[in-house]
Chains A and B, each alone.
Chain A
Amino acid sequence: MTIDLNQVDRPNSYIGKTVPRPNARKLVEGRGQYVDDVHLPRTVHVAYLRSPYAHARIKGINTDAAMAIPGVLRVFTGHDLKEVCTPWVATLDHLKGMKSAPQHALAVERAMWVGEPVAAVVAESRAVAEDGAAVLEVDFEPLPVVADMETALDPDTPVLHEELGDNLTFTRTHEAGDVADAFASAAHVVEETFHTGRHTGVCLEPRSILADYNRSENQLTVYSATQAPHMIQSSFAKHLDLPEGKVRVICGDVGGSYGIKVHIYPDEMATAAISRIMGRPVKFIADRLESFTSDIHARDHRVTARMAVDSNGKITALEIDDLTGIGPYSVYPRTSAVEGNQVVNLCGGPYDLANYKATTKVVMQNKAPMCQYRAVGHPIACAVTEGMVDLAAEALDLDPVELRRRNLVPDDAYPYTAASGMKFEGLSHHASLDKLLETMGYDELRREQGDLRGKGVYRGIGIASFIELTNPSPFMYGIGGARISAQDGATVRMDPDGSLVVLSGVTEQGQGTEGMLAQVVAESVGVRIDTVKVITGDTQTTPYGGGTWASRGAGIGGAAAFRAGRALRDNILQVAAAMLQSTPDELDIIDGAVKDRTTGEERMPLAELGRIVYFRGDTLPKDLDREMVATRHYITSDYPFAFTNGIQASLVEVDVETGFVKLLKHWCVEDCGRVINPQLVDEQIRGGIVQGLGGALFEECVYSEEGQLENANMADYLVPMASEMPDMVIGHVETPTQESELGAKGAGEAGTAGAPGAVMNAINDAIRPFGGRVTRMPFTPERILAALGKVPDPDSR
């Protein structure tokens, strides 16, 4: 049951308030410590030679020239590393029929994508290691390339892993209701094909690892820029044949992650394997080219959709056919089937829909591996669904808002099980829609749009409702056999001066996790926030947990911290009652002092209680528990996931002569349950929106037919920069989850989930007078001009 947090004026009532992040100041002063800032004695540096071919046999590697360079210490090939590092196969048992092939830290027989690590050169400095890599002679024999996902399953397409029989790694069809009958009896059927372009995270800090194997203790310490330290610990231990207890993962400051840094990467595993062999610290920091060719990519989907509506504007059926190409291997240990699976789970999600059929096909090809990236599957499902809803509205000659009103799941319908099988505890689509329309002044914008059209100015308004999956239970990964914790824990300790230390299994990559934890603990114990120190990112000291992904930091990590804080408070009050000849019920902790609950009179500062407990325990009753530390865990159990909802709107102006899109304004109203820190939540949403806008308008990993990545640098791969981005208005509806006292659901992916669909609908709304539409992301000026009939379609060349 959710606690009452309405006493916002009480001292220490931090939950629900904007409080500056305690770790922000060190970052603005350049005092953060990212992996590349860590220097250990005897460190050596590794550079990887990566395959220049999308598919090639490795016939031999001549290392003589590299070894002749002064400062080059060792060269390792795939054959060398497989002696100390076992390969992995990324499948999950609950994804029925899923298959993938063993992947090694360094390619052994074949290189399978441009950028796959083939050999490692270890040297005194990164520069010298790169000199060595440059003169390695690898005898590659090019093999046929499978690049196009559309033909990956054709009979005459080569099978990448013969033992698997075909290039299909996973397929699933979900059907509910009678879809065929619904389409047969529909008043209108609309159909369209959507493409979401393959893109990637472009973390400003590239992937980074410093692995330090100490033979004398059989201990591997890994400084890693990761979202999931315990998952890294478990995976490295397993494949390097170490007990889990002998692997410590330390995660300091991380320069952005967004799902990119939650996977096992072969070059990072290789770095740890090399440290295991050399018995000294080995550092690997990816450069930008390596980041583009070896960070996971995501979102490469082609979705064909059909929607049936009756004459009253009720959506009666939705049918989805999804195809996605994930590269040559499923990525370990989360697998690359999850994104397609999410498309099946999430399409149609906001709508009260009886008949739903969706199929995903996940195929292999010779491109960089794809896997989970911020808002996994959501931007695809949302853009497809919302694109179809706008098409249906057009067919019915209804305002798109009116069609949504008639079909969004009613706010009083919960708990609700969707046709997809997803269970929703409580959502607020209609309240969110109402708030959005009011905030943006929808009717006025429509009037303005009409007026401007008469003057040759083409503005468009796009709306996108969405659901977001947060707070995952073991149903996400654990039941499939992955050692990825859905539970998380927190330890809260009071030191002699009355200050608190919080150790948490969730991690900080800039979202404000540590600030959120400090707020939750300060309030749950009853102290000033500046007396709370938060420690995350160390498998040796924090409770075992999953880390930060799937928007679980606040909802799961925060819930655990709240419980731990309350438990410590109970412990403190027990000791205080014994000291003060009172009972815990008569006492309270406010502002770092024990007070009389009724009168508010101060009885004892926590610093005095700490002094007595730690230094004069002899004065306390012998049998009194005096545990100034408490650990609690939290796991969701009533629902597999805590779904959130929201709605976005985009206002754009399209220059119909150049195809350029100007983003004028963006709105989002979302419901993440209890908002712990409004500013942090709003900034998660703003940052997420811009990431979604990037995928919709600019970002694409462009591959040639030979599987070459043609724009692997930041000059050619376009990311959103300040001058093109709009101001964004964020609003909230709060429907707390009843599963935890805190009531928080996740907020980290809502922005990214809805933005591409909203901007797509806005562009199509702007150019509707011309009769064309865009459905292939990114919506480049050329594609928009093609939709306007002014240039040939670049995608039919």
Chain B
Amino acid sequence: MSENNFAYEVDVTVTVNGERVSRRVDARRHLVDFLRLDVGLTGTHTGCEHGVCGACTVQVNGDVVRGCLMLAAQADGAEIWTIEGLSDNGSLGALQKAFVERNALQCGFCTPGMLITAADLLARENQPSREEIREHISGNYCRCTGYEAIVDAVEMAAGTRSGASQAGGDSE
């Protein structure tokens, strides 16, 4: 509506998963809605829309960013990577394999954001402790797993978890 200041449209050109994308969008369009609705990348999820849950986590210019706290217009010119591109190029491969093997996901809604956050940790710290892993993913909400399997899987991907207890966790 014309009297609404947030309704002005803007042109946005970004690189998403290595492909150049240009769209005209509402100035108020969040990055996560832009990715989901305008680019068709539904692997990035919307959970709380106020930056708490981490489901919309994506990479923007190499940084981990909440897609609900950034406007599409702010991303103009940026390089964005989502779960789809990071899966296609194999950069999450070790983490994804460990998540599947360790059943570090249940409903899967948090998983893309969790993987991107965990990859960010492993990029900085290749031998993180369990406490460091827990701290690093503490901004990503998972209601299903109770987190332990995720911590195990990140350890597995980092190669710091012993083979014997990999699949099942500490189970009797």
Contacts and interface: CB of A to CB of B under 8 A. Distances in A.
B75 interface: no
A678 B4 CA distance: 56
Interface string A217-253: 0000000000000000000000000000000000001
Interface string A151-176: 00000000000000000000000000
B90 to A, nearest CB: 11
B144 A687 contact: yes
B103 A714 contact: no
B73 interface: no
A127 B28 contact: yes
A729 interface: yes
Contacts of B34: none
User: Which one of B42, B140, B147, B150 has the highest number of Cβ atoms from chain A below 10 Å of its Cβ?
Assistant: B147
A714 B50 contact: yes
Chain A interface bracket (under 10, 10 to 19, 20 to 34, 35 or more):
35 or more
Q: Which of B55, B144, B147, B169 has the most C-beta atoms of chain A within 10 angstroms of its own C-beta?
A: B144
A63 to B, nearest CB: 15
A256 B46 contact: no
Interface in A1-54: 18, 20-21, 24-34, 36-37
Interface in B84-120: 84, 87, 92, 96, 99-101, 103, 105-112, 115
Nearest to A715: B52
Contact of A729 (B52, B143, B151, B171): B171
B12 interface: no
B1 interface: yes
Interface string A651-670: 00000000000000000010
A682 B145 CA distance: 10
A720 B111 CA distance: 16
A721 B143 CA distance: 9
A203 B107 CA distance: 10
B112 A30 contact: yes
A730 B1 contact: no
A679 interface: yes
A562 interface: no
Interface string B61-97: 0000000000000000000001110010000100010
Interface stretch (A301-309, A450-458, A506-514): A506-514
Contacts of A679: 103, 167-169, 171
Interface string A759-778: 00000000000000000000
B141 A721 contact: yes
A680 B167 CA distance: 11
A204 B168 contact: no
B105 A28 contact: yes
A75 B104 CA distance: 44
Interface in B104-139: 105-112, 115, 130, 133-135, 137-139
Contacts of A682: 168-169, 171
Contacts of A439: 172
Interface string A63-101: 000000111000000000000000000000000000000
B108 A725 contact: no
Given A21-B103, A24-B105, A288 B1 contact: no
A546 B168 CA distance: 30
Interface in B21-52: 26, 28, 36, 41-50, 52
A256 B171 contact: no
Nearest to B143: A256
Contacts of A285: 46
A691 B87 CA distance: 30
B149 interface: yes
Interface string A413-448: 000000000000000000000010001000000000
A512 B96 CA distance: 17
Interface residues of B, number: 62
Which secondary structure characterizes the binding site on chain B?
A: loop
B151 A512 contact: no
A29 B43 contact: yes
Contacts of B45: 34, 204-205, 255
Interface in B149-172: 149-151, 167-172
B18 interface: no
A197 B52 CA distance: 23
A542 interface: no
Contact of A288 (B26, B48, B105, B137): B48
A750 to B, nearest CB: 13
Nearest to A511: B106
A731 B167 CA distance: 15
B47 A288 contact: yes
Contacts of A211: none
Contact of B172 (A201, A690, A732): A732
Contact of A31 (B1, B43, B107): B43
B5 to A, nearest CB: 12
B142 interface: yes
A549 interface: no
B146 A690 contact: yes
B149 A204 contact: no
Interface in A494-525: 509-512
A669 B172 contact: yes
A722 B150 contact: yes
A725 B103 contact: no
Given A21-B103, A256-B109, A30 B144 contact: no
Contacts of A254: 107
Contact of B82 (A30, A36, A728): A30
- The 10 A-B pairs at the shortest CB distance, nearest first, are namely A30-B43, A27-B108, A255-B109, A510-B107, A510-B106, A731-B172, A30-B83, A690-B146, A37-B42, A723-B138
15 contacts: A18-B167, A24-B108, A25-B96, A34-B42, A127-B28, A204-B109, A206-B47, A288-B48, A439-B172, A509-B106, A678-B168, A682-B169, A682-B171, A719-B141, A725-B146
Interface of A: 18, 20-21, 24-34, 36-37, 69-71, 127, 131, 201-206, 253-258, 285, 287-288, 435, 439, 509-512, 669, 678-680, 682-683, 686-691, 713-715, 719-725, 727-732, 751
Given A28-B112, A288-B49, 16 more contacts: A20-B100, A20-B101, A24-B99, A25-B96, A29-B84, A31-B84, A32-B43, A32-B108, A37-B42, A256-B144, A509-B106, A511-B106, A679-B169, A683-B169, A715-B52, A728-B170
